[in-house]
Amino acid sequence: MIRRLGQFGLMFSLTCTLQYSLHAQSCTNASGYGTHFYVLHGEETSPGSLSTGLPYATLGQITLDGIGGASGKLTSNANGVSTPATFTGSYSVNPNCTVTETLSVTPQAGSKFTSTAIVQSVDSGTSTLNMTTTSSVVLYGQSYYAAGAGAAQCDIGSLNGSYGFQLYQTEIPSYAPAAYVGTVTADGQGGITWSDMRNQGGQGSTSQSGTGTYTIAGDCSGTATLTGSNGATTLALGLVRGGGAQFVETDGTSVGYGELDPVAVPSVLGQLAFGGGWYSAMYFSNGSPGAVSFPVNFFADQGTPLNVPSLGTTTTVTVPAHGDAILEALNVGLLAQGYAVFSMPIGVSGYGVFRQSVAGKPDQEAVVPFSSAIARNVSLVWDDSNGLTTSIAFANPSTEAATGVITVTDNNGNAVGTSPISLAPQSKTEAVMSGLPGLAGMIGLRGTAVFTVTSGNIVVLGLRFGASAFTSIPTL
């Protein structure tokens, strides 16, 4: 039965983990472009039977080419038997944003087979709900965009910091259920510490802690081994946008699946300018019923601490319950530039403001959003037509060097040019974008710029300057 389930579980695990934008129920195959991770779980049942079957979970990675083609890989755990596979196939997106999929699956051991599935987009296309459509199996799950946009977007440093996790297991061979919640801390170099609270078989909560190791490949897939007093648990995992991960258990002791979510995702104000005619401010609003406090750290372009008048190199913000607070970098002295890093508590949101003062002219202001500190792929829509100029500030808030490339296309998707990215740890630079090496062809055009790094992180802030005014450009 275990051998048969391994084939059935793998056969029916494939689901179109399609991600796409919702546009008033007008989705097309082009809406599904990109790479995504999914976890699918459920049971196999006997044909025609409504009885409980044997447990199954899989982690899959699927890339959709935007014109109806799909390819990818998966690792399944069927009743404790783990099997890797690759697949190719096709998908069709309906105008109402449901999707049908047909895939040809090649397991590492066994014969090729065909799998079919139906998917529904939710959360404005940021995730999907997935269900297989083949008899003798009940499988469902959810998918998310992969953390990286290409084949070399992640490395060992992509998993770094504290994460909360949840895990559901079916133990083999007792089939007793177990649930876990806990914390994992990854050191960015392949080492893990962890602790959890668990309820195994309905016996109440117990706790455990331990250490472990992990690997991360360039395509943002990886593995982890968690070791504690009860032995070792091995996982296959996939890093997703937002800093989290999905995973399935791959050892033979149980069938388990779950997710990691960062305890706090640092935010960045990607440009802080004061003095020499510039003023910057940061506004914070607290929607929670209790006062909160958190630190804000300032960095100069060179990556060293930046001393902001009246604030220092770091300051603590206290925001009253249902209130707001402001930090101001005043227009005093010579121009100084840098950026700010902070982790806002739950319920807190905010934005930044720039003001430029020029003698004899009205002051100009622009409101700018805060950015995530953990991105490796950021897009910006630019417009250098009709005398407009796009300026950018891009920072690497991580503690490792950031290297990559800026890829620029025009509004018709034609290549305009590329320019290298090289940022030391915690450093930043600013420039007129068309003045960067390889990007002079932007002048007079409009289009899209994609900033991609394969190490470190990237934060981008755009400003559009006209003859007498400027405004901010949000990143995507």
Instruction: Supply the pLDDT for residue 328.
Output: 96
Average pLDDT over residues 25-48: 80
Distance CA 367, CA 472 (A): 7
Nearest residue to 13 via CA among 41, 54, 49, 52: 41
Residue with the bigger pLDDT between 8 and 404: it is 404
Q: What is the pLDDT of residue 25?
A: 57
Residue 381's identity, in one-letter code, is V
> Is the domain of 316 the same as that of 362?
yes
Interatomic CA distance for residues 293 and 296, integer angstroms: 10
Residue 343 predicted with pLDDT over 80? yes
- Lay out the sheet containing 415-423: strands in order across: 377-383, 446-455, 402-410, 415-423
Residue 122 has pLDDT above 80, yes or no: no
Residues of the domain holding 244: 156-262
Model confidence at 266: pLDDT above 50: yes
* Same structural domain, 246 and 350: no
How many structural domains is the chain composed of?
4
Judge if 30 and 130 occupy the same domain: yes
Question: Could you tell me if 179 and 257 are in contact, meaning their C-beta atoms sit under 8 angstroms apart?
Answer: no
The answer as to whether 150 is a domain residue is no
* Residue 4 banded pLDDT, cuts 50, 70, 90: very low
pLDDT band at 3 (very low <50, low <70, confident <90, very high): very low
Most confident listed range (10-24, 148-162, 171-185): 171-185
For residue 151, being part of any structural domain is answered with no
Shared domain for 359 and 432, answered yes or no, is: no
- Mark whether 106 and 136 lie in a shared domain: yes
Does residue 227 lie in a domain region? Answer: yes
The per-residue pLDDT for 22 is 35
Residue 104, domain CATH: 2.40.128
* Nearest Cα residue to 127 out of 16, 238, 262: 16
For residues 287 and 392, membership in a common domain is answered with no
pLDDT in tens, 301-324: 999 999 999 999 999 999 999 999
Same domain membership, residue 116 and residue 13 = yes
Tokens of 39: 């976890």
Of 372, 404, 437, the domain-final residue: 372
Judge whether residue 421 has pLDDT over 60.
yes
Tell me which of 116-120, 302-306, 329-333 is least confident: 116-120
- CATH number (domain holding residue 352): 2.60.290
- Report the SS3 class of residue 183: strand
- Domain membership of residue 426 (yes or no) is yes
Q: What is the pLDDT at residue 151?
A: 52
Q: Is 202's pLDDT higher than 60?
A: yes
Render pLDDT for 143-168 as a digit per residue (tens, 0 to 9).
Answer: 988 886 555 578 888 888 889 999 99
Average pLDDT of the chain? Answer: 87
Same domain membership, residue 131 and residue 21: yes
Q: 40 lies in a domain? A: yes
Would the pTM count as exceeding 0.85?
no
Please give the residue that has the higher pLDDT: either 132 or 279. Answer: 279
pLDDT digits (tens, 9 = 90+) for 58-93: 999 999 888 999 999 999 998 999 999 999 999 998
pLDDT at position 46 is 61
CA torsion angle 342 345 349 352 (round to 10): -20
